[in-house]
Structure 1
Amino acid sequence: MPERDVVAWTTMVWGLARSGSPQDAVAMFRAMLSDGVASPSDATLVSALHAVATSGSLVSCKLLHSYATKQGLGGELVVGNAFIDAYAKCGNAGLAFKVFVELPEKDMVSWGTITRAMAVHGRHREALQLFSLMLRRGVRPDAAVFLALLTGCCHAGLVSQALLLLDAMARVYGISPRGEHYTCVLDACGRAGQLDRAGEIFRQMAVEHDADQKAFGAYCSCAVSDGVAGAAGERLAELFLDGEVDAGGGTYALMCKSLAGAGRWEDAWAVRERMVARRIGKAAACTWIEV
């Protein structure tokens, strides 16, 4: 293109950010600044922030924030929300909260993003406090906010609070819980050793939804926590042996280990053979770090 306007630059930055090339998107934004012909708009900045959030580069996020402040950008609510999201995904919930506090106006996206940020970063009490404040301001939560809160409750061991949130979703706010919501509560019950409650929730989920692999895996972890000799563990073992289970590789491996630990080697081998026959493998874990 002989001439590139702000629309062309923004389209390229956004396209690279959305196509899994966040570093290239940030490089494109820098090239736009070096070109000097077109000035970034709020849409350009949001596109660059999406790329930064995907890459998890806190340094790039701070540089963009400094640039936006100097250039007088970021006045729009959508930009402020993008900064909250970017700071949170780059690992700094404190700066995300600072941006949130300084917003002259806040919408549901603002409240939801900061609540999720606090929950994801282990600041569970603050997330619940923000949720309470959000309700007092008349802002209705969505399914994503509830998922973040339930995840936080799970990691903090707040089983009672998680159960209250799950109940409030449908009864108060008319939001039907999905598999991921049930999975969080099942995990929380399992961590707390509340196997009977986990069984009730799993049966409720089976009636209202088809239990997905993650939910089944969470319940399996609960049920075999006291070994397959328990009632819940024994029932699950029967389901695995009868081939009535649609589970992932990790769940199959957990059941094999539990059966072997109970001395039921033939059953463990039968579950293992079923896993191989279905070509189910256990995914290897990996970790990404920024250097």
Structure 2
Amino acid sequence: MRIVPTWLEVAIRSISVIIGVFLIMKLIGKKQIATLSFFEYIVGITVGSLAADVSMDIELNLQSGITSLLIWLLVPAMVSLVALKNKTIRDLTEGKSTVVIKNGKIMEDNLKKEKYSADDLLEQLRKKSVFQVADVEFATLEPSGSIDVLLKREKQPLTVGDIFQNPPSIKEPQTVIMDGNILDEPLATARLNRGWLKEELDKMGVTIENVFLAQVDSYGQLTVDLYDDKIQVPPPATKQLLLASIKKCQADLELYALETESQSAKVMYTKNAQKLKMIEDKVTLLLKN
């Protein structure tokens, strides 16, 4: 005769398994979730099957089931630790990347070895927004099954680094309001305060209580998402104001150059106006990114 009802026993076993698997997976680390190798994929399937059996099969001894789960979880974890220090073990358990395109030429033998068809290859390239094999300098098939692509130099998109030698870095946006509450720490990280935040919200015509989320970017621009989606919020204008200030200074220098009677002053104003024009062109490119 059972002392504990069947449903309660199943519930207790299930909760025990969930807690145990969760704690062990936390010890193993995030890599198991982020990128599963073939070895880790097999372990995951087996652990899932064992967890279900231990939870539902009331004839199975709970202690034996937990022991089996521990073995299937801890042994792969130990193998992963060893693989961190040993490349041979790492190649055995996680696999190695395979070159599938080199200098715009498909490596057919490598595709056959990996049992990868031309259709599979083209599909993966399209996912990388690459539609012509000849545009690819180098491509590798990773153990996870994804393809990493390096385009030929002339096919790579233009970046700010190609134009400027030392482009300014872009900092992480700071979330300064969440659920209608001001977050002081991100504000301080952005070197701002509540007074600035209230002033910016007043310019937009919104209240803090109506703001679901607000973020500040590298340029000090505030963007908000409101609870009331019917309210239209004006777009940030910090970048445009900066560019307008540069253009105004340039126009003033050109005006001074026309109005002055001194030849040396005229040359100075004209020269500095040209410099501001160059700065304006560069800033325009930077603000587009």
Shorter-chain TM-score range: under 0.3
TM-score (norm 2): 0.19
Higher helix share: 1
Higher strand share: 2
